[in-house]
Structure 1
Amino acid sequence: MRANARRTTLSDIAQAAGVSVATVSKVVNGRGDVAPQTRARVQELLHQHHYLAPVFRHTEAVVSPTIEVQFADGLKSYVAETLEGIIDSAAESGASVVISKASRAPHWARDLVSAGRRAVIAVTSVYTTAHLKELARSGLPLVVLDPLHLPDSRIYSVGATNFAGGLAATRHLLSLGHRRVAYLGGPATAVCNQARMHGYRAAMEAEGAQVPDAYVRPGEFTYETGLLGAAALLDLREPPTAVFAGNDEIAVGVIETARARGLRVPEDMSVVGFDDTSLARMASPPLTTVRQPLREMGGAALRTALRLANGEKVESHHIELATELVVRASTAPPREATPAP
């Protein structure tokens, strides 16, 4: 092959053999679920094109599958703890993991197949119809961890009991005697945010507590949303005595705004977060929050991706793990009330 010739890809081999890229990938990775005649044809083409990957593997050889893990935002505490679960589970399973930022380049999924990836795990990333079609053409299975939108029937996903978590967080504040409780959340269209907000509203309604429109404010899952949202709440004629924040970063922003206004948490305002990342434990005061089992969610996503990569049947398109309220020092009864018995 000439030094300046374009490197042959799995897509080139698949086109020449008249098969899918996924079938060529199976041959390259020593998978057994390929017809003998097809395998022989693909192997001959790989040899003719001087494909650089090792192609003549015994089917009984142990192959370490590689899973692509993509995330859209910065490597925040939430993402980092989720990745720990993915990596730990991969080590236990003998799989390899490649971590990258979500790509919007043309044929990105085909490039992943050419690089030997067997499945994709997306951490809260948003995949459009075009992305799903690209994945379907490439034969790469997709697992979304904590999806921002309602999962497509073609997508497997892993999440947590967000509604139950919102319910538990708000009930905790109500049990302390709070009635003026606000919710500062993430994007209004995000499924996880909607579920947490509906849990909050359900608890407030069951208790007969009023929810003024100004008490519910969507935003982003960021520290800045907490800073600005808390400022707007404290400027109200009747500010809340407690805030349920859609995640720990928002909650820490609320605490900082309260501090800047000369207020103390929890004496003057109680704050509850969501996720139970390391940020919640390092906050001052340590944050009462709803624990998402982030490492366990990462592990479940990895195991699901491996099963799909191996052509195994996965019973459910969506796995939901339980949340748990973790009470620390950022919540207390309001000054004018005593906690319910």
Structure 2
Amino acid sequence: MIRRRGDLVADDAGRPRRTTLTAIAAAAGVSTATVSKVLNGRDDVGAGTRALVQRLLVEHEYRPAPRRRPPADRRTVGLVFDDFTSPYATELLRGVTDAGTAAGVDVVVGRFSDGSSGYGSGAQWARRLVGAGRDGVVVVTSDLTAQQVAGFSEVRLPLVVVDPVHPPQADVASVGATNWTGGLSATEHLISLGHRRIAHLGGPAGAAVSQARRHGYRAAMENAGLPVDPALVVDGGFGFEAGLDLATRLLALQDPPTAVFAVTDVCALGVVQAARARGLRVPEDLSVVGFDDTYLAPWVTPALTTVHTPLQEMGRYALQVLLRLVEGEPVDPHHVELATDLVVRDSTGPPRAGAAGPA
């Protein structure tokens, strides 16, 4: 005999059975198809109905039925970005999809849910991905909350994070690069050219990658016995606009920098534009170093000196780790950093005579 306990179906032993889509639909007074649309993030459901169904899914602790595992050559994984329009994202995308093709895995690209669709917190986002047929997910540079990570664990959906915004949690597999070493080598290169007033344009102050690159910059300055002028160390964002705005302000100082180490290639291009707007030449009047070595770096004029981050390799490695987790294999260590190295091109050179600053 089956009896109901509250709104949940229970067996004779009083153990709740898995809540079905049919039960959720009945409680909400809608069709099963409507509940399925909500689970899969479809936008053709009214806001009120969506909110009601989402509330019932949470209250009834709905978990999708375990899917029969497809053959290894038919797996589908998700690749989720905060922003997939940047050169950085393009390089990672190529790495993940190349590895997916080699492994016979389909890769579905999406954008990180910020909560506006109702899946930004708890297990709802993870349930949605499971319901959409994902065997695992690679998330790029997203600021995942502990609640979201717990949601993935709750539904047993494997997760790998690439370049996490904050230091990776011990129980979350993640892939990054040697950002501190990259910051060190970029700054040492500028010092070796004779620069002394070297500015650092960082990304968001709380981002782990920004902090690591900034610490590498500071270490190089301190190792060379050079003072770090607080006015030359500024944080903003990873994009072109941040580089343009911050560099415009720095170059307007009474004692401006002779060189700039920017947190990304795109940010560095903003610096170059700011220099040109003031009638300065790169590298004759201002040397500029970027970070990542995306496909833009050798194409621009002057070609950009930058720290090479193995983005495609990071993408391939992330996909390989994810597939190991999907197969139930242990992953140790949980966080891996791939090596960076400096690529010297045309955007750096010695400072103008008399402009280097005190030794």
The question of a shared fold, defined as TM-score above 0.5 by the shorter chain, is answered with: yes
Aligned CA-pair RMSD: 2.3
Residues 170 and 244 in structure 1, CA contact (< 8 A), matched pair in contact too? yes
Q: Which amino acid aligns with 1:136?
A: S
Aligned 8 A contact 1:29 1:63 in 2: no
Return the alpha-carbon distance in structure 2 between the equivalents of residues 168 and 338 of structure 1: 22
Matches within 5 A, 1:30-69: 30=70, 62-69=72-79
Aligned to 2:136: 119
Q: Distance in 2 between matches of 1:324 and 1:337?
A: 30
Q: Alignment partner for residue 93 of structure 1, among 93, 103, 108?
A: 103
Which stretches in structure 1 are left out of the alignment for 5+ residues? 31-60
Structure 2 distance, partners of 1:260, 1:74, is 29
User: 1:153-192 alignment to 2 at 5 Å?
Assistant: 153-192=170-209
**Which residues of 2 match residues 96-111 of structure 1 at below 5 A?**
96-103=106-113, 104=115, 105-106=118-119, 107-111=124-128
Aligned match of 2:32: 6
CA distance in 2, matches of 1:253, 1:5: 52
Q: Work out the CA distance in 1 between the residues paired with 2:255 and 2:136.
A: 51
Corresponding letter in the other structure for 1:71: F
Instruction: Check the 8 A contact 2:64/2:127 in 1, yes or no.
Output: no
SS of 1:174's equivalent in the other structure is helix
Q: Is the 8 A contact 2:200 2:260 kept in 1?
A: yes
* Superimposed CA distance per residue, residues 180-227 of structure 1 (whole angstroms, 9 cap, x where no aligned partner): 101001001110110100000000001111111111000000101111
TM-score by length of structure 2 reads 0.79
**Contact 2:84–2:90 (8 Å) recurs in 1:** no
Give, in whole Å, the separation in 2 of the partners of 1:338 and 1:305: 51
8 A Cα contact 1:184 1:244, kept in partner: yes
Distance 1:101 1:315 in 2: 28
1:338 Cα deviation from its structure 2 partner: 11
- Secondary structure (helix, strand or coil) at the match of 2:167 reads coil
Shift of 1:72: 1.1
Name the CA distance, whole Å, in 2 between partners of 1:311 and 1:21: 20
Q: Secondary structure at the match of 1:116?
A: coil
Which deviates the most, 99-108 or 221-230?
Answer: 99-108
Residue 154 of structure 2 is aligned with which of 137, 148, 151? 137
Identity of aligned residues (%): 51
Tell me, in whole angstroms, the C-alpha distance in 1 between the residues paired with 2:300 and 2:218.
26
- The total of aligned residue pairs comes to 299
Instruction: Give 1:205's aligned residue.
Output: 222
Tell me by how many angstroms 1:133 deviates: 2.0
What's the counterpart of residue 167 of structure 2? Answer: 150
Structure 2: gaps (5+ residues): 1-21, 23-29, 40-56
User: Which residue of 2 is the match for residue 224 of structure 1?
Assistant: 241
Describe the superposition over 1:44-74 as per-residue Cα deviations: whole angstroms up to 9, x where unpaired. xxxxxxxxxxxxxxxxx55421111101124
When residues 63 and 286 of structure 1 are mapped into structure 2, their CA distance, relative to the original with a 3 A threshold, is closer
Alpha carbons 2:72, 2:104 under 8 Å: kept: no
Please give the residue correspondences for 1:64-79 in structure 2 after superposition, counting only pairs within 5 Å: 64-79=74-89
Task: Work out whether residues 64 and 131 of structure 2, in 8 Å CA contact, stay in contact via their aligned partners in 1.
Answer: no
Instruction: Provide TM-score, normalisation by structure 1.
Output: 0.83
Letter in 2 for 1:242: A
- In structure 1, the residue matched to 2:69 is 29
The runs of at least 4 aligned residues of structure 1 exceeding 6 Å deviation read: none
Q: Check whether the contact 1:21–1:139 (CA below 8 A) recurs between aligned residues.
A: no
Q: 2:323 aligns with which of 295, 298, 306?
A: 306
Is the contact made by 1:182 and 1:243 (CA closer than 8 Å) also made in structure 2?
yes
Q: Does the CA contact (< 8 Å) of 1:243 and 1:269 recur in 2?
A: yes
Greater RCO between the two (CA within 8 Å, min separation 6)?
Answer: 1
